Every structure is written in structure tokens, then in C-alpha cells.
Structure 1
Amino acid sequence: MPSVRRVSHEFLERQGLTTVFGNPGSNELPFLAGLPDGFRYVLGLHEGAVVGMADGYAQATGRPVLVNLHAASGSGNAMGALTNAVASRTPLVVVAGQQVRPAIGPEANLASVDAPALMKPLVGWAAEPACAGDVPRALAQAVFEARLQRRPTYLSVPYDDWSADVDDNALAVLDRRVLRAAVPGGEQRRWLVEQVASARRPALVLGGDIDSAGRFDDAVRLAERLGGPVWAAPSQFRLPFPNRHPLFRGVLPAGIAPVSAAFEGHDLVLVLGAPVFRYHEHLPGRYLPEGTRLIQVTEDASAAARAPMGEALVADPGAVIDILLEALGAADRPAGPYRPVPEPLTAEGPALHPEQVFAALREEMPEDTAYVVESTSTNAAWWRQTDLRRQGSYYFPAAGGLGFGLPGAVGVAMAQPGRPVVGVIGDGSANYGITALWTAAQHRVPLTVVLLRNGAYGALRWFGGLLGVPDAPGLDIPGLDFTRIAEGYGVRAQHVGSVAELRAALAETPEHPRLIQVDTALTTPS
């Protein structure tokens, strides 16, 4: 009779989940025994970095990825990073080890009591199989749920289950497929086309799902046909539109009142592939201006259900783009030239202004470079200096929790070895995922990390001013030298002190991971 482990490994192999990101403990070793030759285990030194790397890898490949965590402690360590994966709708399949079944009730050491409840409500589905024979089916459900929901799932498996025998019925899972079609039907199609075609002043809001689904260029064609302004949805984790395109107005502010003000004068706001809306700053007001109608198209049924206003169509936004392009035809006239990039600001003293760093990246790195950005205090400088025109050019921590940037950059670089990848990381956020440097070194990932060192939690200083608490403690982090830290993990590092040195360093094509530390002046996100 085949074992649970053998059937599960074969199922994962058939589904393409052969790259496993993990940090195992004793409970997980029986699952890892006898991994087939085609599997690759990517070890991370902390569970937060493990999930961050898997998040970046899954986003870059567009496919579910297996994550291997250790019982309750490892799962708990990973939950902060998991919030970003949830917000970016990343299909992670988290499999955690559990004590042997007789030891769970007495709460033996390393038993995870009510393991599925631990990860709720973060994950889209969580379970612990009722018996060993149900493990292959439950594993398949975890994979299919992650793929269908585009959300992490969680499966806790007692470690004695993996060696148990299963009957022939368990083999039925090997040939399973679960497909989804989300193209609007005839009546829905007609309604949507009528609403868009009849709008006098339409505006378009695009979410990260547009870039995740590979519809970046199609979104440009639709925007140019509509001819109205284009915004990226608030709290953006991917860039769904070229940021210097003449129709692009930037990322919507994350407050109710300023969002409403942005839509003033527009009779229709079409939101594709985004929640409505992920507000952040509490700036109350009307959701929409008088006379403005909002239509949201999203595959995320939960996002459609919880929206406080507008009409929603649960469908594939890419399919809707195709429908609208077919119905409306090509643009009447060219959109015009892309906006030029302004001269970078400079700073007083020896430190560089972040704009000088980003200008150097724009001019020295190839145009198809993918940037994983986690330097929130330099947000305004970033958008002033970048010119991103390719799909998959930008990744950002979706939930705002620090620790995605460095691991995410490693994951993206591992997923796309033929594309240049740069992690733009602040010194405050780097510490949350610093162990990912070791994984990058071990796998010789050709990644460039540009470490911006300003000695403070710059975004928090800005928020302190907004909230009336400028004297809050714990905002300064002096004395960090990331070149020495990186070298300790096996990553080549250098500290550059001028724009010329930075440009010279960036001009080199890395074959292995490298870290470039540059001191920057303190700036604000906006």
C-alpha cells in the first residue's frame, strides 16, 4: 500500500509545487524524508523571512508555493509576514507539523492545540485532517483553495500520519484538476459595456491584481481608449500602470475624503482588480462625490461583498478588459508623450538625497529591472524619480508590515533568474528580514540590495508629526553597519559615499548577491 507521504509528494510534484520554502523542526522531518529528486528545499533562518521569500517567489511566478513551518511556534513567527501575503492575494500553501495524534489531547510539548484556529482569520482555509487517510485529499484542498481564492491556506499534519498507509482511493487525488472560469455572461457583459460606453468623464482605478495577472499592457490599451485619468488603488503592492504615462495620476491617497476629492467631476469610476478601498489615514468624508457612480470588478468575492459603496461584479478583471477593448475599439488618438523625470533633489551634508539614489538606479539599471521596495519614508522620492514601463517592475509590502522587502527580493530573484532584481531597503525594515541574506548567499542569487541608511524610522517620524506626538521614543536606530552584517552572512557588500561611487557599483552586473549601503538624508513619504 502507498504511504501518505508518497502520495502527497507525487501530488505536489504533479501540481508543480516542487520548490519548498521552509524552516523545519522535529515535527516536520517525516514529511521531508525522501523528497523526490526534482524538489528544491529553500531554507530560511527565520519563519518571517521564509514566508517573505515564498511570497516574492509566488508573486513573480504567479503559481502557488509550498511553505514548511514548525508547529505553533514556527507558524506564530510567520504570521506577521503572512499579513502581507494575504493583502497581496498570494497563493501560499502552508503545511505545518503537528505532534503525533495521541499526544495532541494531553498537550505534549510541540503539540499545537486547535492548530487551524491559530492562523484564522488570516488564511483563506485552515484544517487538520481527521485521520491519516484524509491527508492527501486535505493537502489537495489546501492547494486548490489557495489557487482559487488567491490567498494563503494552512494545513496542520500530525507527523505520524506521513508514514501511514492509504488505500487505493487516496490515489484518486493525483489526477484531480480544479478550474475556474470567471468571464461575465451575456447580460452582465451588456450592462458593463453600456455603463462604460455611456460615461461622459470616466476614471480608471487599477489594483495590483492587474499586474499579478499579467495584464499591465492591456490596462494601458484600455486606459488610452477611455481617455480619462488613471490611478493606482490605495495601499498598492504592485504597479499596474506605467508611472510616467500621461494619463497616470499616481497612487490614490489612502483616506476617504481625499479619494472622494480625486473623483470630483467624474460620472463613472471603474475599479479593476482592487478592493474599494484600502484606506489608511482616518480622513472622513463622503465616499464619492455627488453624481459619481462606482463599478468594481474583482475576482475577490470577499472584497466585493465588504465594499461600503458602489456596484460590484465578481469576475476576472482581465476578461473584462478584453470585453471592453473588443466593444469600444482602439483609441481615437495617441495618449501623448510620457512625462519627463525631474532633476533629482540634493541634500546638504555628506548624505545623499534618496532622489539621487533612485535617479542612479533608473539610469544605470536595465529597463526591465524588477524592484522590491521597502523604504517607506522615501516613497515620494521614489515616484518622482522612477520610470517603470514593464510588467512586474514593482513589489511592495501589501499590508504595510515590515519584513517583506529583503526576503521578497530574494524570492523574486529566485523566481526570475534572467531578470535583474533590486531590493530597495531602508535600514529600519532591513532588520526584520535580514536573515534572507544567508539564503541568497547559499543559492548564489544574482540580487542587488541597495540599503538606504538614514539612522531612523523615517516614516514613523512623519506619522508622529501627523498624530501630534513628535517626541515619541524609539524612532532612532544609530550604529548599524549593514556591510559587516551582510559579509557575516556571506554576501559581498560595500559602502558608497557619493553618486559617482554608487553609479560605478550599479554598473557592475552581479553574479551573486551583493549589498550596497548608502547614507541618505531623512525624508518624508509625501
Structure 2
Amino acid sequence: MSSTSNTNISPVASITVRDAVIDLMRQFGMTSVFGNPGSTELPMFRNFPEDFRYVLGLQEAVVVGMADGYAQATRNASLVNLHSAAGVGNAMGNIFTAYKNRTPMVITAGQQARSILSLDPFLSSAQATELPKPYVKWSIEPARAEDVPLAMARAYYIAMMPPRGPVLVSIPVDDWDQPAQLLPARIVSTELRAEPLMLDQIAAALDASQRPAFVVGAAVDRDNAWDAVVQLAEKHNARVWAAPMSGRCSFPENHRLFAGFLPAMREKIVGLLDGHDCIFALGAPAFIYHVEGSGPYIPPGATLCQLTDDPATAAWTPIGTSAVGSIRLSVLDLMAVSAPPPRALPAARPERVRAEPSGRISVAYVMQTLAELRDPADIVVEEAPSARPVLQTYLPITRSEGFFTMDSGGLGYGMPAAVGVALGKPGVRVVGIFGDGSSMYSIQSLWTAAQLKLPIVFLILNNRRYAALQDFAPVFGFTDSDVVQGTELPAIDFVALGKGLGCQAVRVTDAALLRDALQQALHSSTPVLVEVEVA
């Protein structure tokens, strides 16, 4: 972040709110605006600067999803522009996901003119600051037009403070042309070390352990702590599990110490961690559950330690010792104070069984084929809940920033996030893996990808149903003969949708043709949709 204003505004010209905000965003490196325009936002974009770009999404949830992927890929807050109450309402599903993803994002929302707000005008937001709560870190409608630049600066700093997240600034339409002053960007520290005494206690517990286990969550990769965590795990010869429902990959999944993925069920977590006497949750809640469980939170006789960048997560963790601070800096501190005894390597993860082609294409065969063909540097963005366990088995992620999905469980994030990641990582191919049901929440993303000619493979696993719900139904008492209402999705033509939105598109129904279709898509310089009919 620069502390020197870099403005194209003439020193003799009158400075407006618009001038000051544009100048400030330029200093923050936020020159991409993700939006879907409405009437109350139009003055923001008059005389739009040449060094900015407007990334158009065809629906507000798509806009926020793109901005989420972009912010995660660039490690900087993204700038989003939404339309008053209706636009913010449309976007709320992905605002919720951005909040759960801990994605830094500054959202500006249009508002009607101050002079008529008391008359409840058309397209006004009656409670603009309350609408996005509780899924923004902060929201404000400045009391005066001249306060808008300062509110935007504060919004940026709050969004970037750990745990990061979205913020919202509601801006009346007549504020943009009011006089204001330029603001210099400030340098604000956002990395806080955990308390040394707490780290000493965690180091002592790890050193005294005979069979330690690490549970790594999304904050490891978000905080650029991948390499440090690998070194710490190797120092302790600890088995490493991925935390339940983690939105990032935080440990190489082909590493000798990698043990697999914990499910979001208490009893199964305890069973998989049984035999470990010290469990260390790094950058992860301890633990996320999807269904009600019972019994202990960890195996009997084990101790739990946690390192998190989120005080709220530390507060609700039911047992153990929690340290709060930067994952990367704190792990480096742990490396310096930890001195474990020599330990034997834990048992290796069982080899997976190779998938073979059959009459109906299996998801396992699709993931295995993709793993054999893709460049390891390709980034995977996933939103295929029923296929995720198979993906985790057959498509190992081996690099930092190599995988993105949603921490929220809300659908509609994946397709636009793939667009945002591709924009944030120019020159890198993105492979998006989506269920047919998930795809329909944000299919408009294909249009933006086509318009921008982004190198994205949109791989749609079409099983003609909401498979995750059908698979989950027995947990709630459904039998094999019961019909799960509203879960069948016949007759969706994704090839037609892809072509209609400007993408190349192909359908694969024969396993013998899968490799060639994926090979061509992975070498295209523009987006390609590959629909695979799977069993």
C-alpha cells in the first residue's frame, strides 16, 4: 500500500467525493470494480478512470462471487458495487459465503438521494446498514457526504484486519458530486502474533506427545502459512488431517504425513483421531459439525490445542487451549521454541483403488483422468458437494493456493469464484468442478468468462439430481424407498446454456471420449464448458 496519493486530478479543480474515493481506491490497489449497475450507482462511474476496469456480472450474487475469488487470489480486498436494497438482497447468499470464507471485500451499495429519504422513495434502502448484518464485519451510511472517503478508508482497513471479511458502505446517490478532500492511504499492520506464553504451552504439549495429530484449516493457506506448517509437521512427524468443510487446501495432499479429510460429524472425527494423544488445530475450528452428535469432542486421554486468527472461534471452542494470532507468524514462533524427541513416521495413508471406465462414467474416473491430464499449477475451484469426497481421493491438491471452495455450504459461489480467481491470477488456468444443481445458481458467470476470454474449464458433473441431499436423507430418517421431494433435475441442457452465453461447450457420455474432451479443454485459451453425464 502506498502512502503517496497518485491522482490524475488537477490541483485547481474542485475535489468531489467521487474524486477522493477513486483516488483512495487507486492507492489501495483496488482498481477492479465488480458490479451490476443500478440507477443509484450511476454517478459513481461518471468519467470512469482509464486505469480502472469494471467487471460486469449479470446478477448480484454472481458479482460478489467473482469478487470473492478475486480477493482470495490477490490477497487484497476487492471492490464491489451493488444496487440499494434489492441488489444487496440478491447478493446476500454470496455475502454470507464471503463472511464464512473470511474474504476481504468492500461493498458499496447505492442509496436514494438524501433530500428525499424521509419520503420513502422508490429504490431506497430503509435500513441500509442493517440489511447485510450479521454477515458483514461493519456497515455504515455516512452522516455527511464529505464523510464518504473516510468511511471507505475505514472499511478497507476493517476488511483487511484478521479475521478478514466483507464490509458495506451505503452511499446516497447525490453524495458523489459533493466537495471532499483527498485522503492518503495509511500503512496499518494486520498481522498479530499469538501470546508467547500460550505458544510455549502448545509447544510443550506437542513435544511431550507420543502420537501428535495436526488438523489444518483454510486459515493456513489464507495466511500464507503453507510452508511453515509443512515444516512444523515434519519436525514432529505428525499425521495431518484436513479440517471438516475447509474452503482451502492447507497441506500437500500427496505428502507422506497427510492422513485425509475429517468429516463434519463428531463421532466420526473422534474415531479417526483415536490413538493420538495431542491434537493441534491450526487455522481451523475445533470442530465444524453438520449434524447433531454426542459423546466427547476428542478421543479419551487426548489433549486439544488450537491456533486461530479468529477470537470468536477461540471463544466457542468447547475444550482445550486456544492461542489467537497470525497463523504464519505464530507457527514460525512455534518452530523456534519446539524441540520434539525423535519419533517414528506414522502409518501411511492407504493407496487408493484405481478407477476404471464402465458403462456409465463414474465421478472417480472423471477426477482420475483430470488428475492425469492437468498441469499441477492449474487452480481448482470446486462446488460439487456430492462429488467432493471422490475429488479428495482422486484429485490431490499439492500446492498452496491450488484449491478454492466455499466455507459456508451455500451454493452459487463456485462458478463466479472461478472467474474471479482467473482474473486475479492472469496466465494461470482455472479448472472449475461443479455439480449440475450448483451450476444453476450462478450460470450467468459463463457470460463474463466468455466476454473476458478467460482460460477456464467449467467441468459440470451432471447426475440429474441434487445428489448431496439424496445422499444425506438417511441421516434424517429417510429409507431407500422414500422419495426426497424436489431433488430431481432432469432435462437441463448445459451445452446449450454454455453456447448461448458465449462459451465453447461439449457433452461427454462415453468414457472413451472423456480424455480427448478434457485434453482439448485444458489447452484452450478461452473458456470451455465440458458437461459429463455421470452415474
Residue 65 of structure 2 corresponds to residue 77 of structure 1: no
Query: Offset at 1:252?
Result: 1.3
Q: Identify if the C-alpha distance between structure 1 residues 497 and 471 changes in structure 2 by more than 3 Å, giving closer, same or farther.
A: closer
Q: Give, in whole Å, the separation in 1 of the partners of 2:362 and 2:341.
A: 40
Query: Offset at 1:219?
Result: 1.8
Q: Contact between 1:224 and 1:331, CA under 8 Å: does it hold in 2?
A: no
Which residue of 1 is the match for residue 450 of structure 2? 441
Q: Give, in whole Å, the separation in 2 of the partners of 1:318 and 1:334.
A: 26
Q: Identify if the C-alpha distance between structure 1 residues 151 and 135 changes in structure 2 by more than 3 Å, giving closer, same or farther.
A: same
Residue 428 of structure 2 corresponds to residue 419 of structure 1: yes
Q: Contact between 2:428 and 2:455, CA under 8 Å: does it hold in 1?
A: no
Residue 335 of structure 2 corresponds to residue 325 of structure 1: yes
What are structure 1's unaligned runs of at least 5 residues?
A: 522-526
Aligned length: 515
User: Aligned match of 2:32 in 1, 15, 19?
Assistant: 19
Aligned residue runs from structure 1 range 141-156, under 5 A: 141-148=154-161, 149-156=163-170
The TM-score with structure 1 as length reference comes to: 0.94
Q: Contact between 2:34 and 2:80, CA under 8 Å: does it hold in 1?
A: yes
Residue 159 of structure 2 corresponds to residue 159 of structure 1: no
Q: Give, in whole Å, the separation in 2 of the partners of 1:156 and 1:86.
A: 18
Query: Offset at 1:198?
Result: 2.2
Q: Contact between 2:219 and 2:309, CA under 8 Å: does it hold in 1?
A: no
Secondary structure at the aligned position of 2:428 is classed as coil
> Percent same amino acid at aligned positions?
38
Q: Contact between 2:82 and 2:109, CA under 8 Å: does it hold in 1?
A: yes
User: Aligned match of 1:217 in 214, 227, 233?
Assistant: 227
Q: Identify if the C-alpha distance between structure 1 residues 205 and 338 changes in structure 2 by more than 3 Å, giving closer, same or farther.
A: closer
Q: Give, in whole Å, the separation in 2 of the partners of 1:479 and 1:185.
A: 57
Secondary structure at the aligned position of 1:246 is classed as coil
Residue 143 of structure 2 corresponds to residue 115 of structure 1: no
Q: Give, in whole Å, the separation in 2 of the partners of 1:190 and 1:305.
A: 20
Query: Offset at 1:216?
Result: 2.0
Query: Offset at 1:409?
Result: 1.0
Q: Give, in whole Å, the separation in 2 of the partners of 1:309 and 1:256.
A: 14
Q: Contact between 1:487 and 1:493, CA under 8 Å: does it hold in 2?
A: yes
Q: Contact between 1:260 and 1:287, CA under 8 Å: does it hold in 2?
A: yes
Q: Contact between 2:237 and 2:344, CA under 8 Å: does it hold in 1?
A: no
Aligned residue runs from structure 1 range 368-383, under 5 A: 368-383=377-392
User: Aligned match of 1:452 in 446, 461, 468?
Assistant: 461
Residue 212 of structure 2 corresponds to residue 230 of structure 1: no
Residue 215 of structure 2 corresponds to residue 205 of structure 1: yes
User: Aligned match of 1:477 in 471, 478, 489?
Assistant: 489
Secondary structure at the aligned position of 2:33 is classed as strand
User: Aligned match of 2:317 in 302, 307, 314?
Assistant: 307
Q: Give, in whole Å, the separation in 2 of the partners of 1:244 and 1:80.
A: 34
Q: Give, in whole Å, the separation in 2 of the partners of 1:200 and 1:272.
A: 19
Residue 336 of structure 2 corresponds to residue 342 of structure 1: no
Q: Give, in whole Å, the separation in 2 of the partners of 1:144 and 1:27.
A: 25
Q: Identify if the C-alpha distance between structure 1 residues 338 and 195 changes in structure 2 by more than 3 Å, giving closer, same or farther.
A: closer
Secondary structure at the aligned position of 1:115 is classed as coil
Residue 482 of structure 2 corresponds to residue 464 of structure 1: no
Aligned residue runs from structure 1 range 202-281, under 5 A: 202-281=212-291
After TM superposition, the structure 1 stretch with the greater mean CA deviation from structure 2, 187-196 or 370-379, is 187-196
After TM superposition, the structure 1 stretch with the greater mean CA deviation from structure 2, 413-422 or 66-75, is 413-422
User: Aligned match of 1:106 in 119, 125, 131?
Assistant: 119
Residue 99 of structure 2 corresponds to residue 86 of structure 1: yes
Q: Identify if the C-alpha distance between structure 1 residues 518 and 174 changes in structure 2 by more than 3 Å, giving closer, same or farther.
A: same
Query: Offset at 1:145?
Result: 0.6
Q: Give, in whole Å, the separation in 1 of the partners of 2:435 and 2:184.
A: 45
Aligned partner letter, 1:314: V
Q: Give, in whole Å, the separation in 1 of the partners of 2:364 and 2:370.
A: 10
Q: Identify if the C-alpha distance between structure 1 residues 40 and 338 changes in structure 2 by more than 3 Å, giving closer, same or farther.
A: farther
Q: Contact between 1:103 and 1:111, CA under 8 Å: does it hold in 2?
A: no
Q: Contact between 1:243 and 1:389, CA under 8 Å: does it hold in 2?
A: yes
Query: Offset at 1:304?
Result: 1.4
After superposition, give the CA deviation of every residue in 1:422-464 in whole Å (9 maximum; x if it has no partner).
0011111100010000000111111111111111111111112
Which residue of 1 is the match for residue 534 of structure 2? 520
Which residue of 1 is the match for residue 298 of structure 2? 288
Query: Offset at 1:292?
Result: 2.0
Secondary structure at the aligned position of 2:184 is classed as helix
Query: Offset at 1:226?
Result: 1.3
Secondary structure at the aligned position of 2:119 is classed as coil
Query: Offset at 1:466?
Result: 2.2
Q: Identify if the C-alpha distance between structure 1 residues 495 and 237 changes in structure 2 by more than 3 Å, giving closer, same or farther.
A: same
Runs of 4+ residues over 4 Å off in structure 1: 329-341
Query: Offset at 1:375?
Result: 1.2
Residue 420 of structure 2 corresponds to residue 407 of structure 1: no
The TM-score with structure 2 as length reference comes to: 0.92
Q: Give, in whole Å, the separation in 1 of the partners of 2:141 and 2:229.
A: 41
Which residue of 2 is the match for residue 43 of structure 1? 56
Aligned partner letter, 1:60: A
Q: Contact between 1:64 and 1:146, CA under 8 Å: does it hold in 2?
A: yes
Q: Give, in whole Å, the separation in 1 of the partners of 2:438 and 2:152.
A: 34
Which residue of 1 is the match for residue 405 of structure 2? 396
Q: Give, in whole Å, the separation in 2 of the partners of 1:159 and 1:85.
A: 26
Aligned partner letter, 1:468: G
Q: Contact between 1:203 and 1:229, CA under 8 Å: does it hold in 2?
A: yes
Query: Offset at 1:68?
Result: 0.6
Q: Identify if the C-alpha distance between structure 1 residues 249 and 160 changes in structure 2 by more than 3 Å, giving closer, same or farther.
A: same
What are structure 2's unaligned runs of at least 5 residues?
A: 1-13
After TM superposition, the structure 1 stretch with the greater mean CA deviation from structure 2, 46-55 or 372-381, is 372-381
Q: Give, in whole Å, the separation in 2 of the partners of 1:115 and 1:388.
A: 41
Aligned partner letter, 1:157: I
Aligned partner letter, 2:261: V
Q: Identify if the C-alpha distance between structure 1 residues 365 and 332 changes in structure 2 by more than 3 Å, giving closer, same or farther.
A: farther
Q: Give, in whole Å, the separation in 1 of the partners of 2:267 and 2:343.
A: 33
Q: Give, in whole Å, the separation in 2 of the partners of 1:228 and 1:504.
A: 40
Query: Offset at 1:365?
Result: 0.8
